[in-house]
Amino acid sequence: MLFGFAVSRTKDEGLAKDLVQETFVKAFENADQLKEASQLKSWLFKVLRNKIIDHYRSLAARMNKKTVELDYSVYFDQSEMWQMDKMPGDWLATYDVKKEEDFKHLKSTLEECIDHLKEMPAAVIKLKYMDEVKSGEICKLLNISSSNYWVIVHRAKLKLRDCMEKMLPRL
């Protein structure tokens, strides 16, 4: 379970194994901090989560403005209008979220698209929505500015939407 959690957060099996390993070492070193054996699982997850956040923080430190601008130019031209090949189409009109089949299809497509996100935007999206960490707290955890946070979320949403449009067959 620890390994699965680490892979889903880092998208790197090798790194996930290292983090799980470090988690166990840290757990042994700090075993006296564990008050009740019944809390072992949640305690191990907490240690692992902190290790993953340390990893995210080092990724965030490597982010730079140039990368951000390059990413935007894929979607928008110099006058900040949509690039022709990235203009959203009206695929949503062909789906009905209230229908179980459509709901499942849209959901599984989005899950696949999340899996295709690069590590940093995936990290922010998972912290925000799966771990339900507030945006201010994410900025503190990753040591990123609020404006960088918004850029990451914006890019992630652009990518997710674009990915969905590419993957969804027109009904």
Partner 1 sequence: MDKLSCRKATFLSVKKSEEGLSLSENITLSYHNRLCKVCKFWDDQSRLIDFFLKKNIEDPSSRPLTPGEKEHIKSKVKQMRSH
What number of chain residues touch partner 1 (CB under 8 A)? Answer: 47
Residue 74 as a binder of partner 1 (CB under 8 A): the answer is: no
Residue 31 as a binder of partner 1 (CB under 8 A): the answer is: no
How near is the Cβ of 59 to partner 1 at its closest, in Å?
Answer: 19
Residue 17 as a binder of partner 1 (CB under 8 A): the answer is: yes
For residues 61 and 157, which CB has a smaller minimum distance to partner 1 in the complex? 157
Angle between helix axes 40-62 and 13-29 (nearest 10 degrees) is 130
Q: Could you list the residues that contact partner 1 (CB under 8 A)?
A: 1, 3-5, 7-8, 17, 20-21, 24-25, 28, 72, 75-76, 79-82, 87-92, 97, 106-107, 110-111, 114-115, 125-126, 128-130, 135, 150, 153-154, 157-158, 160-161, 164-165
